[in-house]
Structure 1
Amino acid sequence: MAGRGRPAAVADRRPENAAALAIITRAVELDSECKYSQALVCYQEGLDLLLQDLRGTKNDAQRSLLRKRIASYMERAENIKKYLDQEKEDGKYHKQIKIEDNATGFSYESLFQEYLNETVTEVWIEDPYIRQSHQLYNFLRFCEMLIKKPCKVKTIHLLTSLVGSVQQNGLEEIKESLCKYGVLLELEYSSSIHDREIRFNNGWIIKIGRGLDYFKKPQGQFSLGYCDLDLRPCYETTVDIFHTKHTKQI
């Protein structure tokens, strides 16, 4: 069981350990709350800092103590990783990501790459707000990600609301461009669609509160984040990731 064998947070409060202490303490807190995905990230970040500290420590007693701590956290991190891998295998995995207002580092690649592999050949997107120019560009960026390796996407289904010719012309242009890469874009319009959902045919389902439109407008044409979405500030939203084995959806 993932909850067993949680290590205690480090007690050494030397200045060079302050950052590691804060991150490891947070990891243990998340671990105790069964937030294993977030805990694993914190354990990994804390371990990187502790390993740096170990390389810079000359005192044998302190080195011995650090090694024991590192071994303990490494073992815990590995156990959590195995647990999460098994959860994915069993289809019981549920990951929730809360994107804070103005947070960065949440490009489509950062969010979705973990769930995209060579088995993904078909994708469904339901999003009523693929309407305005910047939303069409967001959808285009999402499509660009899908045609890169390791994906072998052949068909993309988009269900959205219909608002006018500018939208239709933009989507038709994206469709023609995808066709040159051997990818079929199937467009469907609905006046009653409200939900936002992305599904891959390997079973993963991603629900984003704001759909694909969670990026803020860049400050200028030549400001950081205009091209690289990992550097673009985001609106506050929540991302939920499930698997069809768990949700029993088709």
Structure 2
Amino acid sequence: AETDPKRKQHYQTKILEYMHRAEQVKELVTRWKSKGVISDKIHIVEGATGYSYRRIFGKYLNEDVREVLIEEPYVRDHYQICNVVMLCELAVSSCRNLKYIQLLTVKDAKNNDEQGRAFETLKENLQEHAIKFVVEYSEHMHDRQVILSNGYVVKIGRGLNYFKPSPTRYQLGAFDHHFRQCRETNVDVFYCPENNKS
């Protein structure tokens, strides 16, 4: 046992500091747990096929989904806009109670007219299905994720743009992305109870 009163006091102070820090860490872990439970992890290897949006998102898109938030910084080029349209097609066909889709992206400084026209066309088309489509721009976003109102969050390392270009227009994968080769990426699916609005 320590007999020096100064050293004893020093150790007691350190013990209290460590206990306080342990409580802070415990509280932080509890908060992170409430942020979501990992539901699924998928590693897509370079050149793999069979990873269409239906495979990645399909089992999470159901009648409980009323809202979809797509956070995708790069929706500038034609193929990137087409990827958003494909995800919207899947959501509309799978989620019979879908009422709202929001896209958070970065504004294309070079070709804003084309980007804006594409979003306006998609907005008008979704209105025909009684779905509101809203685009918001952020200059500081980097994360890529799709948040569903049934509590699921799908994070894809490369975002929606993980497909390789089709070598020709007349082969499998030109339209059905189940056959399209992919770029290597990771997919993490979380269930976050606080996001569940159903």
For the criterion TM > 0.5, the same-fold answer is: yes
| Secondary structure in structure 1 of the residue aligned to 2:69 | strand
Residue number in structure 2 paired with 1:224: 172
User: How many residue pairs are counted as aligned between the two chains?
Assistant: 158
Residue number in structure 2 paired with 1:133: 78
List aligned pairs for 1:1-250, cutoff 5 A.
92-163=37-108, 164-245=112-193
| Secondary structure in structure 2 of the residue aligned to 1:109 | helix
8 Å contact from structure 2 (residues 69, 102) kept in 1: yes
Structure-2 separation of matches of 1:225 and 1:243? 31
8 Å contact from structure 2 (residues 66, 95) kept in 1: no
Aligned-residue RMSD, C-alpha: 1.5
How far apart are 1:94 and its partner, in Å? 3.0
| Secondary structure in structure 1 of the residue aligned to 2:79 | helix
Q: Give the counterpart letter for 1:204 in structure 2.
A: Y
How far apart are 1:146 and its partner, in Å? 0.7
Higher helix content, 1 or 2: 1
Higher relative contact order (CA 8 A, sep 6+): 2
Structure-2 separation of matches of 1:150 and 1:178? 13
Q: Which has the larger radius of gyration?
A: 2
Structure-1 separation of matches of 2:185 and 2:169? 25
| Secondary structure in structure 1 of the residue aligned to 2:37 | coil
How far apart are 1:93 and its partner, in Å? 4.0
Structure-1 separation of matches of 2:99 and 2:133? 9
Moved over 4 A (4+): none
Structure-1 separation of matches of 2:59 and 2:85? 20
How far apart are 1:95 and its partner, in Å? 1.4
Q: Scaled by the length of structure 2, what TM-score is found? A: 0.76
Structure-2 separation of matches of 1:105 and 1:151? 25
Higher strand content, 1 or 2: 2
Give the gaps of 5 or more residues in structure 2.
1-35
Identical aligned pairs, as a percentage? 39
Q: Give the counterpart letter for 1:224 in structure 2.
A: L
